[in-house]
Structure 1
Amino acid sequence: MDQTTLFTRQHENALRILDQEGVFRMKPEWIRQKYGDISAYFMKNYDWLSQASARRIPRPPGVTYPIWCSVDEGYMLRETPGEIVLKLSIPTSQIIYFDSARWDLILNHMYVPADPEDEAAFYRELKLRGIRNPFTLLDDPVSRFHPDLVRRIHDSWERVFEIKEWNKFLVQANIWEFNTSHIVEVRT
């Protein structure tokens, strides 16, 4: 089976959880703890990401959210107090790759353009309709008057999974779960 090396930073309790449960999976309450007052905003985006990811690689029963991973040691999140970095060897067929710059657009409820021409055309359309601030379109009450634009924005988010150029800084990976057999190294 083809394996790929990934890196993930997790709370130091990850190894204890792995020992107790036999598998490590992202739990919604950990996201709520991490993001506190703004967790509802992130959870909404993570819900979309999880559903879209499940259309690419089926989500195992009992899993809610994917686990964030770096594809390159040079661009991985470093260990910090209370957290560890795990170097994993994951079956390539279980990895969902995505573009982190496009993910940032989704976090900001923005349109993910196919290319520069598509981006220019979309923003011309907004201007023609008198929409001055594209950052607030999805969250603004005026969005109900533009259901086609809202749909276009949501549909464009699927492009987060399109990797046009393999850039180790921008490409990230998600996996649904891992177990001890996947761990190559633990960094504290």
Structure 2
Amino acid sequence: MGTEARMDCQHNQITLYTAQTDEVVRNLLEQGRHYVKLEYIIRKYEEVAAVFLQAYAWYTENAQRIVPKPAQAESAVWSFCDVRYLENHPGSQILKLSVPIENAVFFRMSDWNKVLNLRYIGESAAEEAQFAEKLARYGVRYEGDVYTTPFYPHLKKELKDSWQRLFRYDQQVKATGVSPYPDMQAGLWYLDRQWLQET
């Protein structure tokens, strides 16, 4: 299952990294907590925001079954187990966090990218290839069309059902403190000023 690496876990805390705008960091320091608002996502993604909002809505609906979502959180804060997976843009900062492990929902970045691109998450590459072959038999060229058009309800259900695999590593990570893949990501419902660590 890939290269296993022990995560930085101690006393049920895990070290995670997130990149946030200077505005978010300022608000976090002043108010003590930061919650994501959908307006931030719309502002960030502009004309393609609608596609992202669908994926984020699916994530929010399903991730809150793993870690209950506070009412103030409209979406998740993305964080990573390995700082190398962060994109750092001008006007943003990388934050090092020590988070109670039960506050995080763990998944692979590569699986999340499949959800964002409205693609199938298989148990294996072979299973994903089988789904692609099935789509080809129906004349579907782009997987996302299954999701965005009303013509393939049974295929859309199969596609959306596959997204539950996004969370397949969550319990394993929490039980062992071991990252089964280097691209492990974690969703947090908020940032807490007390989690901030010196970098």
What is the CA–CA distance in structure 1 between the aligned matches of 2:142 and 2:43, rounded to whole Å?
A: 31
Aligned residues: 181
What TM-score, normalized by structure 2, do the two folds share? Answer: 0.82
2:117 to 108, 122, 126: 108
What is the CA–CA distance in structure 2 between the aligned matches of 1:73 and 1:160, rounded to whole Å?
A: 21
Tell whether 2:192 aligns with 1:183. Answer: no
Secondary structure at the aligned position of 1:29 is classed as helix
Aligned-residue CA RMSD (Å): 2.0
1:160 to 161, 166, 175: 166
Counterpart of 1:2 in structure 2 is 12
Task: Report the AA paired with residue 136 of structure 2.
Answer: K
Task: Give 1:73 shift.
Answer: 2.6
On the 8 A contact 1:99/1:162 being kept in 2, the answer is: no
Secondary structure at the aligned position of 1:137 is classed as helix
Task: Give 1:135 shift.
Answer: 3.8
What is the CA–CA distance in structure 1 between the aligned matches of 2:44 and 2:35, rounded to whole Å?
A: 16
Task: Give 1:136 shift.
Answer: 2.3
What is the CA–CA distance in structure 2 between the aligned matches of 1:148 and 1:113, rounded to whole Å?
A: 17
Secondary structure at the aligned position of 2:190 is classed as coil
Secondary structure at the aligned position of 1:136 is classed as helix
Cα pair distance change 1:124/1:65, threshold 3 Å: same
What TM-score, normalized by structure 1, do the two folds share? Answer: 0.87
Structure 1, unaligned stretches of length 5 or more?
Answer: none
Structure 2, unaligned stretches of length 5 or more?
Answer: 1-10, 173-178
Secondary structure at the aligned position of 1:126 is classed as helix
What is the CA–CA distance in structure 2 between the aligned matches of 1:74 and 1:131, rounded to whole Å?
A: 36
Identity of counterpart residues, as a percentage? 29
Deviates more, 1:48-57 or 1:16-25: 16-25
Match runs of 1:15-54 below 5 Å: 15-54=25-64
